[in-house]
Amino acid sequence: MNGYAGKILRINLTDRRISTIDTKEYEQWVGGHGMGSAIFWDLVKDKTISGFYPENIVTVMTSPLSGTLVPGASARTEVQGIGIQSYPIEWFTRSNFGGRFAPMLKYAGWDGIVIEGKADKPVWVDIRNEDVKVKDARHLWGLDTWKTQEMIWREVGGRGYGGWVELSSEERTTQRPAVLAIGPAGENLSRIACLVHDAGNASGQGGFGAIWGSKNLKAISVIGTGSIQIADPKGLMESRLWAQVKYGTDLKNLDASWFSKFGRRKPQNLFWDKHERARLQACIGCHQGCKERSDTGYGNESTCEETSFYQGYDKWKHGGRQTSAAYIAADLLQRYGINAYEASRGLTYIRALQKMGILGRGKRLKCDLDFEKIGEVEFADHYLKLIAYRQGIGDDFGEGFVRASKRWGRLEEDLKTGVLPYPYWGFPEHGYDPRAEVEWGYGSILGDRDINEHDFNPFFWWPSGAIWAGKTPQPPAEQVAKIVAEKLIPYENDPLMLDFSTDNIYSEHMAKLVAWHRHYTRFWKQSVLYCDNRWAEFINSKVPDYRGLTGDGEQRFFNAVTGKKFSFLDGMEMGRKIWNLDNAIWTLQGRHRDMVHFSDYIYHVPYGGSGNFSMYYLPGREKGKWDYIRVNGRCLDKGRFEEFKTKFYNLEGWDTRSGWPKRRTLESLDLKSIADELERNKKLGA
């Protein structure tokens, strides 16, 4: 089995039983999410249980590419199980993170981990190649995620760096164990708690930190000395060099790489003002690196939302100058193990309630946060401690802000006005608002969570920047739509899939875009585990005709590692199969089309107010002519979204009345047993 370690580790925390699953049993699902969903389906008989129940399992999966030299695909780890963040139903969900964990798990000889049951007291799992032990973690309970990892590093590898760790008389390494841990937020069962690995790699969405906390699982540590069999090592190296030369950053002419996901001129994914002295930090196998480590020691490895969480308050409070507060606040998020998006949008929300005179000292919602100190480290620490330790009103915050709002009797009203900016399933808005960039919102509401998949966002970023600055965005919208449409197999050559005009966003063209996106990400990004930061790449400014790597690269690397003969289309079809399996799980959990609605404000409050300013541009047609069109200032039409859902369900081969998968569709995907189970539960689409 080229690319695979060959076995999956199964840990029952209730009786501390360690067993293995032969990876071959699930090889048809390839890896990552596909395998995780299939294992979940087989092992969790009652899919309607709460995520907090011991019967819920958590899968932690790698892919055949994990630990190899495939660029931007070596290091992601996929986490799945019934989540506890979504509302009103705790959907079966996913999250994933980078760093060193997936490669190290493969080097230790495991393709994944299945966590079952609940320990009777705090434990951690110590994996040293084949040797797996469930150990007492009472000395770790109460520590933050960084301290926990440091303690385990010492316990496994001794003090200092670069020394040998002896795993047996013939197996030793200078590596440190890769540790995935929870902090106080997870221990205290906050629904917005994360799993954190190294300084800043977090499995954030879904509340998996609290699920581990409920299982009394503090951490999993893994260290390995093995390697991975590659089917065609020469082909893999040639492919990497091909990608580097054709699509990678042109170091002699950086300006040529002004736009690319794969070969960026500025690879960092940081929103704050960068440190003066810092170096790039990358996940194992990555050709670029999106993180940094700085000489200050603050903010190391944090990226994306956690680097935005406190920056605005910090700069405002300090006369426009960013201080260390923004960095330290991000570090606190990592250490307590708290979801940055929830913390960020939640702070906006409670500040609004404070301004309304509802929340604060002596108010109906008693809260002793000193809002005068917002922007200072002291405030951030107090706020995040409330979430992590759930003291006072923090007990409500720890439920996530939708459930907190429900407790406060405000949910309906605040979702109507948009004061609580949570558009779908109790998840905070990401920024790619459903009213503007519809494929993001549609994908989220038709799924289980905020999708956090950035495949089409480049078509917002560069026109929105260029038009704001009075420049003409290049390449033109029509050319972009044509290039991308060529790559949208099996719906290829329909440029209207990229038309974000209001007339087109409820069309079958848009349904095809959403379906393509669901299928692509379910396989190539969440099962094969290509990183969202570098894939998909549709457009690359260095390539003379702008055509990016996607459609050529994914299967080339995959086949070099596995020796299989997968086409891009084969991958898309696998993605459709996995997407159908996930939908079958949600159907058993209670999903019905009647509940697939955005929060009220999405239908009633125009995005960005009047829309009469340069903010959000996407490709689209106006009076039959392609351009980058302004999409802020609009709402979604509820009735037309209903029509869209019907088109989408038809396209997927699902029952348009219920949204449930049909037998014919499932059997065409070799999922007869899934159809049988839905039928037994009277939930098979007609």
Name the residues that contact another protein, by CB under 8 A.
Answer: 269, 271, 304-305, 308, 312, 315-316, 319-321, 348, 351-352, 355-357, 421, 429-433, 437, 454, 457-458, 460-461, 464-470, 533, 608-610, 612-616, 632
CB 13 within 8 Å of CB 134: yes
- Nearest distance from C-beta of residue 427 to another protein, angstroms: 14
Q: How far is the CB of 466 from another protein (least distance, A)?
A: 8
Output the smallest distance, CB 356 to another protein, in A: 5
From 43, 100, 45, select the one nearest 74 (Cα to Cα). 100
Task: Pick the closer one to another protein by CB: 289 or 563.
Answer: 289
For another protein, give the closer residue by CB, 160 or 320.
320
Q: Between 44 and 325, whose beta carbon lies closer to another protein?
A: 325
* CA–CA distances in Å: residue 261 to residues 158, 202, 454, 475, 556: 39, 21, 10, 16, 18
**Nearer to another protein among residue 357 and residue 362 (C-beta):** 357
CB of 573 to another protein, least distance (A): 29
Least distance to another protein from the beta carbon of 332, Å? 19
Specify whether the CB–CB gap between 302 and 199 falls below 8 A: yes
Judged by beta carbon, residue 212 or residue 271, the one nearer another protein is: 271
Nearer to another protein, 54 or 289 (CB): 289
Task: Output the smallest distance, CB 205 to another protein, in A.
Answer: 14
User: Would you say 147 or 351 has its CB closer to another protein?
Assistant: 351
The C-alpha atoms of residue 591 and residue 47 are separated, in whole angstroms, by 12
Pairwise CA distance, residues 66 & 4, whole Å: 9
If you search the block for the tokens 């330290």, which residue do you land on? 328
Of the pair 141, 271, the CB lying nearest another protein is at 271
Residue whose CB is less far from another protein, 47 or 525: 525
Q: Cβ neighbours of residue 586 under 8 Å, at least 6 residues apart?
A: 91, 92, 448
E-strand ranges in 224-360 read: 278-281, 291-294, 359-360
Q: How far is the CB of 461 from another protein (least distance, A)?
A: 5
Task: Report whether 86 contacts 424 (CB < 8 A).
Answer: no
User: How far is residue 459's CA from residue 481's CA, in Å, rounded to a whole number?
Assistant: 9
C-beta closer to another protein: residue 177 or 441: 441
Encoded amino acid at 60, one letter: V
How many Å is the Cα radius of gyration of the chain?
Answer: 24
For residue 554, what are the CA distances in angstroms to 28, 406, 510? 18, 44, 24
Judged by phi (left if over 0) then psi (alpha if -120 to 50, else beta), residue 529 lies in left
Compute the least distance from the CB of residue 617 to another protein, in Å.
Answer: 11
CB of 244 to another protein, least distance (A): 23
Alpha carbons 314 and 470: distance in angstroms, whole number: 30
Nearer to another protein, 348 or 589 (CB): 348
To the nearest whole angstrom, how small is the minimum distance from the Cβ of residue 259 to another protein? Answer: 10
Tell me the closest approach of the beta carbon of residue 632 to another protein, in angstroms: 8
The β-bridge relationship of strands 359-360 and 365-366 is: parallel
Q: What is the DSSP letter of 662?
A: B
Q: What is the nearest approach in angstroms of another protein to the Cβ of residue 363?
A: 13
Q: Which residue number, 164 or 461, has a Cβ lying nearer to another protein? A: 461
Instruction: Collect all residues with Cβ–Cβ distance below 8 Å to 438 and sequence separation of at least 6.
Output: 500, 505, 510, 636
Query: ∠ at Cα 238 (233, 242), nearest 5°?
Result: 150
C-beta of 226 vs 289, nearer to another protein? 289
Query: Which 8-state DSSP code applies to residue 528?
Result: S
Q: How many angstroms from the chain centroid is the CA of residue 308? A: 17
CA distance 320 to 311: 10
Note whether 671 and 577 are within 8 A (CB): yes
Beta-ladder partners of 196:
181, 202
Nearer to another protein, 325 or 615 (CB): 615
Please tell me what DSSP assigns to residue 685.
B
Return the exposure string of 306-330: e unless at least 16 CB atoms fall within 10 Å of the residue's CB, then b.
bbbbbbbbbbebeeeebeebbbbbb
Q: How far is the CB of 435 from another protein (least distance, A)?
A: 11
Calpha distance 162→175 (Å, rounded) = 7
CB of 295 to another protein, least distance (A): 21
Report d(CA 160, CA 676) in Å as an integer. 56
DSSP state of 304: G
Question: Shortest Cβ distance from residue 270 to another protein (Å)?
Answer: 9
Residue 678 Cβ vs another protein, minimum distance, rounded to whole Å: 36
Own/partner long-range contacts of 233-240 (Cβ < 8 Å, ≥24 apart): 235/559, 235/560, 236/68, 236/69, 236/70, 236/557, 236/560, 236/561, 237/69, 239/553, 239/556, 239/557, 239/560, 240/69, 240/70, 240/71, 240/287, 240/557
Nearer of residues 111 and 453 to another protein, judged by Cβ: 453
CB nearer another protein, residue 23 or residue 344 = 344
